[in-house]
Amino acid sequence: MNQHRFCVAPMLDVSDRHFRFFARQLTRGARLYTEMVTTGALLHGPRERLLAFDDAERPVALQLGGSEPGDLARAAQLGAAAGYDEIDLNCGCPSPRVQRGAFGACLMREPALVADCVRAMRDAVSIPVTVKHRIGVDREESYGFVRDFVGVVAEAGCEVFVVHARNAWLDGLSPKENRSLPPLRYPVVARLARDFPSLVFVLNGGLRSHGEALAQLDRVHGVMIGREACENPWMLADVDPLYFDRPAPCAARDDAIDAMRPYLQRQVRAGEPLRAVVRPLLGLFNGLPGARAWRRTLSDAAMLERHGAGVLDIARGEIRA
């Protein structure tokens, strides 16, 4: 089975362990990704907290940010020892902070260095090492640029490339604008898949519906959806039937709430902030009557403090009322 047929994107300040646990209640087949974790934070910071995840989240990939092969190798070892199923190298983030660290999208200009990083990580761990990248940097839009990047990195042993089908404009745009303003060019990713038939290509960028995503699977091996899965998480309940020919874990939104209740109780007992645990559920009823009441209750600090783990039932009751 193609393990990357449907992936949920790594999203800063979104795809934390609570989001991933909730996503896993809606789909068993999707491949989940962490937020990007820098090698500096992992090697010198609170690594246990940064690497923490529930075994129920698997298959789950750890996305690393860095550009020093030795540091990435050590960070990959920590991720593999923690139980992650894949290590992904971020070569697509355009934020100024990431650029100052000399990694992210600017690494596309140094394919030999990326190859060294991939080689070092593959030598250090037995789990797959993948790369997430853009199709170009700034106004460099030639196909040869991304083709040569993929070719060099593939020679280091990378077999899976997750491609955000936009250029990264490193000057003048915010990270949010970089997710929408550079034009999408899906045919570039399809061409990569044709030109490198032994590799796996996952298309990312601009996909907002299953219809759009499924249409791309004639040209690429997998798709990755990010913001839509965050804003409208119930879309993930359709993933298993549509992409993996298996029943959905939850037939209704109430099933998802029931699945999250024991987790919520465990996290509260462990001292985790309740607001952080319920945040991934805010969009569960988006587009339906009562969605605003649901979000309001789960965002209300006084309600969270008063009801604790029972706030899910309070919020659900307001929708029914």
Q: Is 304's pLDDT higher than 70?
A: yes
pLDDT of residue 318: 83
Residue predicted with more confidence, 172 or 234: 234
Distance of alpha carbon 16 from alpha carbon 62, whole angstroms: 11
6-27 per-position pLDDT tens digit = 999 999 999 999 999 999 999 9
Positive or negative torsion for Cα 19, 21, 27, 31: positive
pLDDT of residue 166: 96
pLDDT of residue 104: 86
Distance of alpha carbon 288 from alpha carbon 9, whole angstroms: 25
Write down the CATH number for the domain with range 253-320.
1.20.120
pLDDT of residue 173: 77
Q: Is 99's pLDDT higher than 70?
A: no
Distance of alpha carbon 76 from alpha carbon 85, whole angstroms: 11
Would you call 93 a catalytic residue per the annotation?
A: yes
Helices (H), the chain: 17-26, 39-44, 47-51, 69-82, 96-100, 111-124, 143-155, 175-178, 186-195, 210-216, 227-231, 239-243, 253-269, 274-278, 291-299, 301-307, 311-320
Catalytic residue among 7, 91, 93, 158: 93
Note whether 6 and 213 are within 8 A (CB): yes
At 209, the pLDDT band (50, 70, 90 cuts) reads: very high
Fold of 6-243: TIM Barrel (3.20.20)
Domain ranges in the chain are 6-243, 253-320
Task: Taking residues 272-297, report their average pLDDT.
Answer: 96
Task: Taking residues 289-293, report their average pLDDT.
Answer: 94
Share of the chain above pLDDT 90, in %: 88
Which residues, 6+ apart, have CB-to-CB distance to 50 below 8 Å? Answer: 37, 41, 42
Take residue 134 and report the two structure tokens written for it. Answer: 């853009």
Averaged confidence pLDDT in the chain: 94
pLDDT of residue 176: 81
3-state SS of 67-104 is CCHHHHHHHHHHHHHHCCCEEEEEECCCCHHHHHCCCH
74-84 per-position pLDDT tens digit = 999 999 999 99
